[in-house]
Amino acid sequence: MTLRHCHITGKKTTLAIYDALMQARIPQSAARGVAEALEKDMEALLATKTDLRLLGAETASSFERVWRCFDQMEHRFAQVYQRFEQIDQRFEQIDKRFEQIDKRFEQVDQRFDLLDQRS
């Protein structure tokens, strides 16, 4: 059985190389060895359309996970920002209370001053 009839190879390139080597009067075993080595290298080293599609799908899936993580982080940052806004509002309320307390102390001081002036 010659390589050109073998189902294992099925690739036009390796068959063409084999045929060219045979026409150049290279011994059949050597031509077969070269063609099989070429086929093996091509299968191991060259990406097929299926390989590229799988890689594309895996890459897209990875990017999708990364974007989901970014979306989650943005959501968390928005929550943190909102919480800081709430804290700022609470501090504003506390500042207003301190202002009211300061005013009351001023009033108390004024009353003491009046009492001191009367005595």
Tell me what pLDDT residue 14 has.
78
Chain segment 37-64, per-residue pLDDT in tens: 888 888 788 888 899 999 999 999 999 9
Chain segment 97-115, per-residue pLDDT in tens: 999 999 999 999 999 999 8
Tell me what pLDDT residue 5 has.
36
Residue 65: pLDDT band (50, 70, 90) is very high
Q: If you average pLDDT over every residue of the chain, what do you get?
A: 87
Residue 10: pLDDT above 50?
no
Q: 3-state SS of 59-115?
A: HHHHHHHHHHHHHHHHHHHHHHHHHHHHHHHHHHHHHHHHHHHHHHHHHHHHHHHHH
